[in-house]
Amino acid sequence: MRWSLLLLLVSSLLFPPLLLADTKGWQLFQQSQDAVRNHNFDVSYVVFKGEQVTSFRWLHGVHQEQQLEQLVPMDVDGIDILRKGKVVYYLTPERPVLITLSSYIKELPSLLYQPVADLKQLYDPVSGSVSQMGGRSAQLLRLTAFHPGRLSYWLWLDVETGFPLRIDTVAEGHQLLERWQVTHMLLSPQLPEALKALLDLPLPQPDKQHLQPVATPPQASNIELAWLPSGFKQVEDPLVVPSLGVPLLHYWLLSDGLHQVSVFVQKPNRQPAQAYRDGATTIYVHSTEQFDVTVIGPVTLEIARQIAAAVRYD
């Protein structure tokens, strides 16, 4: 009896602070999501992937309860991306406008737009110290993955507004894979001038074709994927089937709600296994006598290997 009372006392002393820390972490994260949805801002940021550095200008505003957004590459020839409400336009010179339906621009950090309830199943939030970043006070928030092999995130949030100033994508052992960092930020009560032109810009409206799958690859009925990483599920009828430039025997799109992993099966080339890393994205090619498997997505190399090894004839 005495031991039971002692354990109860210890539990009452330990668990409330843990619960409070968890609540504070998710409150900080929710504040960062609210900042990118509800503020008018003109932001410049850079993305570091190994030795590769790219920079962008990101404008966002709210007009008559509708979000307007623009993402512009600054140092390379790229695609100008616009969003009005839930319609996203990809504009390239001398090409037709590509239209997709989404409540955010997919080229931005998807972490900032996923439901907190879903992220709670994947990560443990721990708030850290406050430091100076670009002349602003930044609160560190670590989202540590529950499952081995899953990538984690370290966020530095502006203390005053909650706006994300930096996001590091890290593997186990705190290995930095990719960094997203704000270099200039201007928040305003008014819609940014550059976005006002979007209000009258003639843009095509989406039709039924944007609500249907673009393509369906051939599905060999005797090929199966026998294993999925913890928390991942197969996406039924993905809206876009990417192409590797060769005929496909099978294709799966896997998702844990935040990350997406593509699995391609092609005829065999009988080449040695190959592995590449593009920032947080792993590209792994596994060859057998029966087929080649290519895994592309933000997972560790070991997880990519396990996915490829799980593709087999049933």
CATH number for the domain that contains residue 243: 3.30.200.100
Distance from the Cα of residue 93 to its chain's centroid = 27
| Alpha carbon distance 45, 36 (integer Å) | 14
pLDDT at 244: 60
* 105 domain-assigned: yes
pLDDT in tens, 182-219: 999 999 999 998 898 888 788 887 776 555 555 555 56
Q: Are residues 31 and 136 in the same domain?
A: yes
Q: Are residues 246 and 180 in the same domain?
A: no
CATH of the domain at 59: 2.50.20.10
Q: Are residues 197 and 225 in the same domain?
A: no
Domain stop point among 209, 232, 261 = 209
pLDDT at 21: 55
* 5 domain-assigned: no
pLDDT in tens, 139-155: 999 999 998 778 999 99
Domain stop point among 209, 236, 268 = 209
Domain stop point among 147, 181, 209 = 209
Q: Are residues 118 and 232 in the same domain?
A: no
pLDDT(122) > 50: yes
* 265 domain-assigned: yes
Alpha helices in the chain (DSSP H): 2-38, 116-119, 193-196, 301-309
* 152 domain-assigned: yes
Quickly list DSSP for 204-254. Answer: PPP-GGGGS-S------TTEEE----TT-EEPSS-S-----SS--SEEEEE
CB-CB neighbours of 311 under 10 Å: 24
- Averaged pLDDT of the chain: 85
Number of domains within the chain = 2
* 24 domain-assigned: yes
- What is the pTM assigned to this prediction? 0.84
Q: Are residues 176 and 257 in the same domain?
A: no
Distance from the Cα of residue 162 to its chain's centroid = 19
185 lies in which domain range? 10-209
- Residue 70: which pLDDT band, with cuts at 50, 70 and 90? very high
Alpha carbon separation from 148 to 72, 120, 122, 305 (Å, rounded): 35, 16, 11, 14
| Alpha carbon distance 248, 181 (integer Å) | 37
Q: Are residues 14 and 144 in the same domain?
A: yes
pLDDT in tens, 86-108: 999 998 887 888 888 889 999 99
DSSP single-letter state for residue 96: P
> Which residues, at least 6 apart from 25, have a Cβ–Cβ distance to it below 8 Å?
124, 125, 126, 127, 141, 143
Instruction: Out of 107-121, 211-225, 256-270, pick the least confident.
Output: 211-225
